[in-house]
Amino acid sequence: MFETFQKLPDIYQGLIYLLFGIIMLLYALGIIEKVITPIVIALALYLIGIGCIKTGVYHKIKKLIFSKE
């Protein structure tokens, strides 16, 4: 893998180093956590919702709430 990286032109190697350097700096400053945490929470809630729909739990809860006896 490192050989493949060495074969890249210098401009691409420089861009990769620059990108990873910026990511590491943002991580060290704590900025990444502030950005990623809401995204992870939203993704988790989305996946829970999809899981409820796929397993049929959503329809069972809907049926219990809106059923007229």
Provide the residue ranges of all domains of the chain, joining segments of one domain with +: 2-66
Q: Is the pLDDT of residue 2 over 80?
A: no
SS (H, E, C) the chain: CHHHHHHCCHHHHHHHHHHHHHHHHHHHHCHHHHHHHHHHHHHHHHHHHHHHHHHCHHHHHHHHHHCCC
Q: Is the pLDDT of residue 42 over 80?
A: yes
Helical pair 57-66 and 31-55, crossing angle rounded to 10 deg: 70
Confidence band, pLDDT 50/70/90 cuts, at residue 69: low
Q: Which residue has the tokens 């032109």?
A: 9
The whole-chain average pLDDT of the chain stands at 88
> Residue range 12-16: average pLDDT?
91
